[in-house]
Amino acid sequence: MADTTTDQYDVVILGGGSGGYAAALRGAQLGLSIALVEKDKLGGTCLHRGCVPTKAMLHVGELAGAPAEGAEMGLDLTLNSVDAPKVLEFKDKVISRLYKGLQGLVKARKVEYVEGFGRLTGKNTVTVETEGGTRELTGKNVILASGSFSKTLPGLELGGRVLDSEAALQLPEIPKNPIILGGGVIGVEFASVWKSLGAESVTIVEGLPHLAANEDEALSKALERAFKKRGITFSLGTFFEKAEQTDSGVKVTLVDGTVFEGDYLLVAVGRGPNTKDLGYEEQGVEMDRGFVLADKQTLQTNVEGIYAVGDIVPGLQLAHRGFQQGIFVAERIAGQNPAPIVESGIPRITYCEPELGSVGLTQKQAEEEFGTEGVETYEYNLGGNGKSQILGTTGFVKLVREKDGPIVGVHMVGTRMSEQMGEAQLIVNWEAYPEDVASLIHGHPTQNEALGEAALALAGKPLHAHA
């Protein structure tokens, strides 16, 4: 039997993804002794199997569209082929560079990185099975940051031609006619990249009434129109019943009897909290359907000294949310008084083509809070924006404000509009009035001007827009 060694720290962190490593780096910066436990790779799902690799592939897809775009500008460009293994190699190089950089940061901050499977075995104790034996790490505080996993549906087995997003990122070929189960962020991003890289047809099956159903309805409808133009088809409002693998592909049947056939099925129905068999419930941590319940103001669980961050906490499952939560908890533990994180103030970005960006309340949510007559909105069409016309994109910026009050929501759709989310989140989180934003100078010609023009219009003085 391997020897057990015990070590003591100010903070023991279970999970090395965005939330965990952010807490480790910030805590060490503030003088806390930190142990960071991870059974896989530092950086977690986002770096290795999620955000970063999908965006790398979306960039390849963007370049693949250059010949068609260039033809309209007088450029004779040709895309001869797509080398799928080379695309994977590019993606992996991006991941590798970021991974090495992150490892260097953790080492430089003198964070004790413990590689192995960790479980919560006491109020202040995490037991880790490492290659060298069992280690017991005792912390004055413990942060649970164990992340999430790709969900599937009852009766739907992954394997073969039925993929989750992680398997899809390793696929050594570009699917010819894939079916995607789920029209949320993951589903529409993969639909976008596969279509850009040469898939003959892409079909999305979504049981809800819209693609990207959590967004403002105006964004969802704009995305659907854009996908139709791109030749991406979708079935909305009818739920999945079953999937059958054949020798050459997959047959998907919906509850109304509709059948779709394709060469692969991507299951993109969301992510679940990775908390099973980690000892949380045994130590008295309050849970709900696998999620860890943490106080919204402090992110502390019902057990004093145990905190939770990231995808295991109910709410938006976004890497940058977990990252900020990790910083927040580290600062609290170090005796600082950081401002609580407001969930509605977290920017939400979907990196398909066209891109979706939003922060704050949708029009529907604002009307539920302030009443229909208590809300004003304005949509500024990118047709009036010079840089958007150069880029050849359609779309709009939509502002939602409390009547005679601040802007409470910003929603946008269009090529590269994710780059405008920095100012958008400042507008909402600093409770800016349209008049405040209208008085700022936005560089010309940039897509950033679209935010300024929308604010001008909502302030009652539209310029490059019809009143």
pLDDT for residue 1: 39
pLDDT for residue 405: 97
pLDDT means per 10 residues in the chain (467 residues)? 70 97 98 97 94 95 91 91 95 96 96 97 95 94 97 91 96 97 97 96 98 97 97 97 92 96 96 96 97 97 98 96 98 96 96 97 97 97 94 96 97 96 97 96 96 94 74
Query: Are the CB atoms for 98 and 47 separated by under 8 Å?
Result: yes
Query: String of b and e for 401-424 (b: at least 16 CB within 10 Å)?
Result: bbeeeebbbbbbbbbbbbebbebb
Single-letter residue type at 386: G
Burial class (CB in 10 A: 0-12, 13-18, 19+), 223: buried
Active site residue 444: yes
pLDDT for residue 246: 87
pLDDT for residue 155: 84
Selected catalytic residue, list 442, 444, 464, 466: 444
pTM beyond cutoff 0.85: yes
Query: String of b and e for 427-461 (b: at least 16 CB within 10 Å)?
Result: bbbeebbbeebbeeebeeebbbbbbbbbbbbbbee
CA distances from 266 to 1, 111, 124, 198 (A): 43, 38, 40, 17
Which residue stretches of 291-433 are H helix?
319-333, 363-370, 386-391, 421-429
pLDDT for residue 340: 94
**312 phi and psi, to 5 degrees?**
-80, -10
Burial class (CB in 10 A: 0-12, 13-18, 19+), 360: buried
Query: Are the CB atoms for 11 and 140 separated by under 8 Å?
Result: yes
Ordered structural domains, the chain, with CATH? 4-149+273-343 (3.50.50.60), 162-269 (3.50.50.60), 354-458 (3.30.390.30)
209 three-class SS? coil
pLDDT for residue 247: 82
